[in-house]
């Protein structure tokens, strides 16, 4: 069993010393650190390295819960992923320790909150879409009105075989998929 630490600050000008001192004082044998602003879980390369480094029976320790994840869903998914690998989790400031009965209960409580948060987001999204529909708005990409002339020019250029597909698309400011769709429409009609 090894204590592995993870520390993170959001900006380069912020200092990791407080977190590093606390993790070292608790006995962490290795500490991974990230310094970056984004909230995307996948962008935190050192967190990914720490998670890969952990072995069965190890403990991942952070100074504070928000250092591990910015959203409840990220936190729960990460900690549950650790549990599946038989890795425990400790947050120093909040005194969360999944090696204890109270820590395990807190983890279950976090999972319930994350599910609640997901349900609220889904309900708000659904309500927003319904309200927009009631006002006559529809989701998705707006329908593009394409002039018949542009379609005819595309068909002629394609049939002539004098211009490359790339040149036709660039000239008409359309994608290859659009060009082929327009050409195929004429063949099927």
Torsion of CA 73, 76, 81, 84, to 10 degrees: -140
CA angle 129, 77, 18 (to 5 degrees): 115
Tokens of 178: 């659009």
Tokens of 64: 């504070």
HSE on the CB side for 68, CA within 13 Å? 28
Tokens of 111: 């999972």
The 10 Å Cβ neighbour count of residue 85 is 12
d(C-alpha 33, C-alpha 21), whole Å: 13
Catalytic residue among 10, 71, 95, 164: 10
Asked about 175 being catalytic, the answer comes back as no
Q: Given the DSSP bridges, would you call strands 3-9 and 88-91 parallel, antiparallel or unpaired?
A: unpaired
Please list the active-site residues: 10
């Amino acid at each position: 069993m090894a204590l592995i630490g993870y520390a993170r600050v959001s900006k380069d000008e912020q200092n990791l010393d407080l977190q590093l001192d606390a993790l070292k004082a608790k006995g962490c044998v290795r500490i991974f650190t990230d310094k970056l602003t984004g909230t995307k879980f996948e962008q935190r390369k050192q967190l990914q390295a720490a998670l890969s480094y952990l072995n069965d029976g190890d403990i991942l320790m952070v100074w504070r819960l928000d250092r591990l994840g910015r959203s409840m869903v990220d936190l729960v998914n990460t900690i549950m992923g650790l549990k599946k690998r038989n890795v425990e989790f400790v947050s120093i400031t909040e005194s969360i320790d999944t090696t204890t009965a109270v820590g395990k209960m807190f983890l279950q409580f976090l999972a319930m909150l994350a599910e609640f948060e997901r349900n609220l987001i889904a309900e708000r999204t659904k309500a927003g879409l319904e309200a927009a529909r009631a006002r006559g708005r529809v989701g998705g990409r707006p329908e593009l009105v394409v002039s018949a002339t542009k379609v005819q020019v595309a068909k002629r250029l394609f049939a002539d075989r004098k211009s490359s597909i790339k040149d036709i698309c660039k000239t008409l400011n359309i994608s290859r998929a659009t060009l082929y769709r327009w050409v195929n429409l004429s063949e099927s009609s």
